[in-house]
Amino acid sequence: MQKLYVYFSLIITLIFLGSCGGSKNNNNQEDSTQTAQANTSNNNKSKQPKVDPRTYNDLARYIAGLKGEPGSKYAQYESDKAWQTYAQYTNALWKKIADEKLPLMIDWQKQELRKPNKKGGTLFYPFSGPDFLHASAFFPKAEQTVMMGLEPIGSLPNVDEIAKNKPQNYLNNLIASLNSVLNFSFFKTKEMQYTFSGHADKRLNGTLPVILFFMARTNHKVLGYEKVALTKNGSVVSASEIKVSNPDQDTTYYGTKLMYQAKGDDTKRELYYFSTNLADREYDGMPGLLQREDLLNYINNLSINATFLKSASYLLYKPYFSILRRTILKKTTYLLQDDSGIPSKYLIEDNKWRITFYGTYAGPIALFANYFQPELKSAFEPLSGEKVKPLPFGIGYQFKEGTSNLMLAREKSLFE
């Protein structure tokens, strides 16, 4: 067990050094990784075999290192040494989160996010990667969660194949992909690019296993899974409804839908994940929002109750992310973000928002040093006139408690 821990620690150290080593380079390097788009064409439309609905939950529990519920078809693999080692390690790793940080976030959410959670509605989480962990901790009452990131969603894990063919390789790489978000509160772009593109293990080809991991570990039951597609007007339909004569010329935008419910709550909720370039225009051959009428219409059709922005690489500071920035400011009722989201000047200039600040503004990390906000620094000063509330946990790039910040912007019309 100690050797396994050292192995994972070494992996994360190397990944961390690799991802931070370019801090002196031109910012275009980071932009290119964030605006990259995984395949959204017909490869994501691959037919899925019909399965017993409970299989999705059984699969999620296996992936999460949790014993299956009675009758699980994957219980036969729980005696495998590779899975037991994985389960032991993930239990220890998760225990620290479940005992320490997660209760702090949930208690804070119950106090500070009562109103957005009372309404429920739609949570919009762009640049999320597979971060269901923070989405569900802060917005557990969202009936619909829409997550978008550059990473491909990939395919459902084939547990039978994994368990019979080097399960330790798949499971070790899966847990390695989780260490950064569990230890630092955010996913690292370069780490995800490598892991979720099948380089580490061709069976680990997207973010879906991580989302399932977090659903199971946060006491959610996975009820269903479906490949979906966007029509030109932005409607969501089953991928099976899309008929094309030549699959190689299929330009349909595909995504994934997961249905789930929380323990002790009968409400059925939905999560949508789309792999996308959220910049205004095409980048390196990848269409932006101006070229994807279907995706832009879909976002515009959303009735967004809350938007969540965390560890967003300061992309919304840039002029070529103006469409998404304007859309969020126009459509959302509540905006929860750290300083890497929408620059505070847009919130102040808009005069639409009442803002509450939490924590400490320590400025960006070295990789994003160019995005320091003097006006935000002033807002967090004791003599600013703003009431700054404590933040009892670390989050974002400045992940250590005492250096992190959040801000909650609410439409002023809510107070009229």
What does the pLDDT look like over 125-149, one tens digit per residue? 999 989 999 999 999 999 999 999 8
Cα 215 to Cα 200: distance, rounded to the nearest angstrom: 23
- pLDDT for position 197: 59
Cα 365 to Cα 20: distance, rounded to the nearest angstrom: 10
Chain centroid, CA 282 distance in Å: 23
pLDDT at residue 350 greater than cutoff 90 = no
- Could you report the per-residue pLDDT of 32-61, keeping only the tens digit for each? 333 333 344 444 444 555 668 899 999 999
In eight-state DSSP terms, residue 286 is B
Question: If DSSP codes are grouped into helix, strand and coil, which group holds residue 180?
Answer: helix
Confidence of residue 111 (pLDDT cuts 50, 70, 90): very high
Alpha helices in 208-343 (DSSP H): 208-217, 293-301, 322-331
- pLDDT for position 164: 93
- Could you report the per-residue pLDDT of 176-202, keeping only the tens digit for each? 777 665 655 445 555 555 566 556 778
Report if pTM > 0.95.
no
pLDDT at residue 402 greater than cutoff 90 = no
Sheet of 388-389: strand order equals 236-238, 220-230, 253-262, 269-275, 144-149, 122-126, 304-309, 334-337, 405-411, 353-359, 388-389
Length of the chain: 416
* Cα atoms in the Cβ-side hemisphere of radius 13 Å centred on 251: 8
- DSSP codes of every residue in 245-280: S-GGG---EEEEEEEEEETT----EEEEEEE---SS
Confidence of residue 18 (pLDDT cuts 50, 70, 90): very low
- pLDDT for position 4: 42
Joined together, the tokens standing for residue 180 give 């950064």
Cα 297 to Cα 281: distance, rounded to the nearest angstrom: 15
- pLDDT for position 196: 62
* Cα atoms in the Cβ-side hemisphere of radius 13 Å centred on 361: 21
Q: Which residue in 394, 357, 333 sits closest to 117, CA to CA? A: 333
What are the boundaries of each domain within the chain? 2-104+119-332
Burial of 27 (0-12, 13-18, 19+ CB in 10 A): middle
